[in-house]
Copies of this chain bind each other. A is one copy, B any other.
């Protein structure tokens, strides 16, 4: 679902692993079983017809996968949930003034792309979980529709109240745009793909290149997933028959205003007529015209959406390979299967990687190998409308997963380029070690060498383009850091609701999939031409994730290096402390400027700005509990890592006890009370930002409370977050103590 192109987290060189010859041979065997041509066949078949939730082809793909998993020796079944999934009955968009023009509708076929003509049964451009309605009102340009943009509008005296907002894609998660528009009083919202973001500013429009063509539209979900993802009617529980359901009217994650996504061809016709102050600088998009903020009667729009709000069945395909010696420790690996139309890049590039792994693991098993721990492969349905398939499954099996799941490994759309990995930081070394052992298909070197090279060359070529933490790590030559997980794919329920250690792995940065993203042009043709020719990187992803699965399921111990987590948490603590100080400094600067009247003095007749609102002064917060907890974690992690490095010398019974203690330790970073205003999100280290959506907020209870000026919440969550970190450290202490105790 989330497009990988913009993810900056990358990996690299790890210290040599202590690989035993048998597992090295097994991995070589595994690699030999991965076939990119076979992945291409699956991709072509599975993307040959619309495969959105509820479509016949989505079900056919599930049935095909079920048969294949069984054929490959897995214990497989389809697990169904019945979830709210609105589909459009009618979508209407007209410009009423200055002239009457009908806009919107399905994207036109492109002759070079065979499936683009094959839209029978496809959904028209729409966004799921908008609120139906029929409104006519003046249009206001809101740039990305993020909080900064509403400040810019407010400074110019423009309100969206009673009007229709038009926001461009980018700058934050799709669903926040209509949510914030609604909160500011808008009665409707349009979201369009600006060419500055995914078309001619970045790539030649399709079919000359992979960029978004002028009539391409990005579909998507606008469910309020930052409150909770999954079926909006069954928060926290599986959407099974008999489950207690909310009504649509009282489901908090469904918007109340009508919303439609549109192309830049359509958006240009609307934007061209807007009046009001000029939009310049970073708030302007890339259409060849002046942008104005609008809000006057110069441009009036009629927007109407009517949906079928019935429950629909969704189908997760679940395949299990039982562990031989430790069956109650689970390694869970998933990728979604549903697309918005043909879904070739998103999600099927990742799905065919998963399938190749499952086939290869099945072949290894057929030759007599069995993993020590249990492996579960999942093909999720209904990720696109709101991570629904994975969330319902995780909620339904919450107790068992919390008891047994050691790790959840996710992939999604994948393309050529550089390794991009995000996840729980105790798994940083684990990922680096595997990435050292997988060869990049273009460069012929380990994928982590290429990731490191990209960081170092990128830093040289475009100073400031590479995150400082990543660059420093690449330069120092140690492991490359994992990025923190926000949201945008199926790991959310595992990591952020249940607290299970998770990874999200992919390749990208040299694809052009942003231009076909969630449109009818996300096709086999587009993928093979622009995103992953020959599916070389789908095969590479299989080899990398397959190694992670093999090592997690069959390695001598569960994979973790706690010092990496401790260092990362210490960095996050430093960041929130700096945030507090910097925000206080900025508040004081504003207070000074307001007091001295500098805004009035610098007011321009060409773009008169009002004085920014007084926000008060951010207090200095007592961060000592976090400092102490972070310090405790650092010391405990050092001791635990040292103990585990010598773990082979321990009696097997002790080792088993330690594994049991540490297998679910990641869950100690959760608090059952959850985050302020969104109790479903229990993880106090990793969360998607309420005002970023995709982007992670680390130590979110503290960080977002400071950013959003809820200082009492900040104080509460300094204590709760510190308590969670202390509990984690104490568990490490206990494991170290157990290792030292007489057997």
Within A594-611, the residues touching B (CB, 8 Å) are 596-606, 609
Which residues of B have CB within 8 Å of A593? 456-457, 460
A195-B288, A288-B288 known; A602+B453 contact, CB < 8 A: yes
Residues of B within 8 A of A598 (CB): 452-454, 456-457
- Decide: A602 and B450 in contact? CB cutoff 8 A: yes
User: Contact at A442–B510, with CB atoms within 8 Å?
Assistant: no
Q: Are A601 and B450 in contact (CB under 8 A)?
A: yes
State whether the Cβ of A287 lies closer than 8 Å to any Cβ in chain B.
Answer: yes
Interface flag for A157 (CB, 8 Å): no
B454 near A602: Cβ-Cβ < 8 Å: yes
A130 CB → nearest B CB, Å: 29
Q: Which residues of chain B come closer than 8 Å to A203, judged between CB atoms?
A: 278, 280, 290, 606
For residue A530, which residues in chain B have a CB less than 8 angstroms away from its CB? Answer: 606
Query: Within residues 569 to 623 of chain A, which ones have a CB less than 8 A from any CB in chain B?
Result: 586, 589-590, 592-593, 596-606, 609, 612
User: Which residues of chain B are within 8 angstroms of A606 by Cβ–Cβ distance?
Assistant: 203, 510, 512, 530
Residues in chain B near residue A418, CB distance under 8 A: 602
Binary per-residue interface labels of chain A (196-215) against chain B in the complex, 1 for a CB within 8 Å, 0 otherwise: 00001111110011010000
In the bound assembly, the distance between CA atoms of A289 and B445 in angstroms comes to 37
- Is A703 engaged at the interface, CB distance under 8 Å to the other chain? no
When each residue 445-467 of chain A gets 1 if its CB lies under 8 Å from chain B and 0 otherwise, what string results? 10001101110111111100000
Q: A200-B288, A203-B278, A604-B417 are contacts. A599–B457 as well, Cβ < 8 Å?
A: yes
**Complex CA distance for A450 and B601, rounded to whole angstroms:** 5
A286 within 8 A of B: yes
Question: A618 → chain B, closest Cβ, in Å?
Answer: 15
State the Cβ distance, A474 to closest chain B Cβ, in Å: 9
A249 at the B interface (CB under 8 A): no
Bound: A450/B452 CA distance, A: 49
Looking at the assembled complex, report how far the CB atom of A392 sits from the nearest CB atom of chain B, in whole angstroms.
38
Which residues 164-214 of A sit at the B interface, judged by CB distance below 8 A?
195, 200-205, 208-209, 211
Question: Is residue A416 within 8 Å, beta carbon to beta carbon, of the partner chain?
Answer: yes
Residues of B within 8 A of A22 (CB): none
Q: Which of A543-578 contact B (CB under 8 A)?
A: none
User: Does A697 reach chain B (CB closer than 8 Å)?
Assistant: no
How many residues of A are in contact with the other chain, CB < 8 A?
62
A284 lies within 8 A of chain B by Cβ: yes
Interchain nearest-CB distance for A161 vs B (Å): 24
Q: Is A476 an interface residue (CB 8 A)?
A: no
Residue A443 lies at the interface, judged by CB distance under 8 Å to chain B: yes
A601 and B209 contacting across the interface, CB-CB below 8 Å: no
CB neighbours (8 Å) of A289 from chain B are: 200, 288
Residue of B whose beta carbon sits closest to that of A609 = B461
Q: Which residues of B contact A417 (CB under 8 A)?
A: 604
* Chain B residues, Cβ within 8 Å of A602: 418, 450, 453-454, 456-458
**Bound Cα distance A287, B200 (Å):** 10
**Given contact pairs A195-B288, A289-B288, A589-B460, A605 touches B442 in the complex (Cβ within 8 A):** yes
Q: Does B284 lie within 8 Å of A201, measured CB to CB?
A: yes
Q: Within the complex, which residue of B204, B416, B442 is in contact with A278, where a contact is CB–CB below 8 Å?
A: B204
Asked if A510 and B605 make an inter-chain contact with CB atoms under 8 angstroms apart, the answer reads: yes
Closest residue of chain B to A199 (Cβ to Cβ) is: B290
| Residues of chain A in range 508-533 having any CB-CB distance to chain B below 8 Å | 509-510, 512, 530, 533
Contact call A601/B510, Cβ cutoff below 8 A: no
Give chain B residues whose Cβ lies under 8 Å from the Cβ of A200: 288-291
A680 to chain B, nearest CB (A): 35
A601 CB contact (under 8 Å) in B202, B445, B512, B533: B445
Given A590-B460, A605-B510, is A290 in contact with B453 using a C-beta cutoff of 8 Å? no
- A509 to B443 CA separation, bound complex (whole angstroms): 50
Kindly list 12 other residue pairs between chains A and B, CB separation below 8 angstroms, not including A453-B602, A460-B586: A201-B290, A211-B290, A443-B600, A453-B598, A453-B599, A453-B601, A457-B602, A458-B602, A459-B589, A460-B593, A530-B606, A533-B605
- List residues of chain A with CB under 8 Å of any chain B CB: 195, 200-205, 208-209, 211, 278, 280-281, 284, 286-291, 416-418, 440, 442-443, 445, 449-450, 452-454, 456-462, 509-510, 512, 530, 533, 586, 589-590, 592-593, 596-606, 609, 612
Interface CB pairs A-B, < 8 A, 27: A195-B288, A203-B606, A204-B290, A286-B288, A287-B288, A288-B288, A288-B289, A418-B602, A442-B603, A443-B600, A445-B601, A449-B601, A452-B598, A453-B599, A456-B589, A456-B592, A457-B593, A457-B601, A457-B602, A460-B589, A460-B590, A460-B612, A461-B609, A510-B605, A512-B606, A530-B606, A533-B605
Q: Which 9 A/B pairs are nearest by Cβ-Cβ distance?
A: A288-B288, A453-B601, A453-B598, A200-B290, A454-B602, A457-B602, A453-B602, A457-B598, A510-B604
